[in-house]
Amino acid sequence: MADQAANAVLAGRSAIVTGGGSGIGQAIALHFARSGARVAILDIGTAEETLGSIQAAGGEASAIRCDVTRQDDVGRAFAEASERFGALDILVTSAGVAHVGTVEQTTEADLDRLYAVNVKGVYNCLRLAVAAMKGRGGVILNVASVAASIGIPDRFAYSMTKGAVLSMTLSVARDYVEQGIRCNSISPARVHTPFVDGFLAKNYPGREAEMFAKLERTQPIGRMGRPAEIAELALYLCSDAASFITGTDYPIDGGFLTLKM
């Protein structure tokens, strides 16, 4: 990473990426570090793989265990990140959980779990980020989903929470634009992450390849997205190149929203 100074569009910036231990969050943390940011990787599990990859390439990062559903834990993690890397410039809220099921198949426990991570967890991070950025500016990027904008079968609770993420994005953008804070969201369609592999292994043992191909065909472009592709959009929106963009949701979906109907 040290030899990519010409591409260091985030040089000198301090970033927090939640859910940075795997999947989309991991790809964003890696890409931000390659682009010069000092990255605090927050995850309820281990983020050592992400941290090791960044450090091996000469980047600067820290892995911090954090349960985003607990406001005191988020406060501790943000304070630790600030102590190490300085004032917060960028927040990416990538931590999230999924659930497959209709409203009848969604238990109260399911709903509470998704709300706690996908809604309250984002709120906890937004609240602290805004306080840290007020008066000096900063960028917030929330990871929503195409499920926030279109009816997807068997995604009742997940769609509800991602709709809330989209609404929170608009509210924060409106309330803090005069404080120099930009807030946007990205809405991926299906992306090939460890969640997809785990879902197929659990629900379709022995048929993983067949079902993987079927899932890919649900995207008009003919395949799932790659985490690195999501990270490219995240980098742009968190860079100065996007300084005129706030209060906007960006689908990155292989044509799912516009070509599927």
Under 8 Å CB-to-CB from 77, ≥6 apart: which residues?
16, 40, 42, 64, 65, 66
Q: Provide mean pLDDT across the span 47-54.
A: 97
Residues 58-73 pLDDT 10s: 999 999 999 999 999 9
* Most confident stretch, 140-144, 198-202, 211-215: 140-144
Q: In what order do the strands lie in the sheet with 60-65?
A: 60-65, 38-43, 14-18, 90-93, 138-143, 181-188, 249-252
- Considering 6-15, 23-32, 215-224, the range whose residues carry the highest mean pLDDT is 23-32
**Per-residue pLDDT, 5:** 47
Q: What local confidence, expressed as pLDDT, does residue 178 receive?
A: 97
Q: Residues 250, 183: contact at Cβ < 8 Å?
A: no
Query: pLDDT band for position 2 (50/70/90)?
Result: very low
Which domains, ranges and CATH numbers included, belong to the chain? 2-189+226-250 (3.40.50.720), 192-224 (no CATH)
CA distances to 2, 209, 254 from 188, rounded to whole Å, are 30, 22, 9
pLDDT per position as a tens digit, 100-131: 999 999 999 999 999 999 999 999 999 999 99
pLDDT of the residue at 199:
82
Catalytic residues: 158
The whole-model pTM stands at 0.94
252's enclosing H/E stretch is strand 249-252
Residue 261 has what pLDDT?
Answer: 53
Report the percent of the chain where pLDDT is more than 90: 88
Q: What is the mean pLDDT of the chain?
A: 95
Closest CA to 37 of 5, 16, 12: 12
Predicted confidence (pLDDT) at residue 4 exceeds the cutoff of 90: no
d(CA 230, CA 234): 6
- In whole angstroms, give the CA distance from residue 81 to residue 15: 9
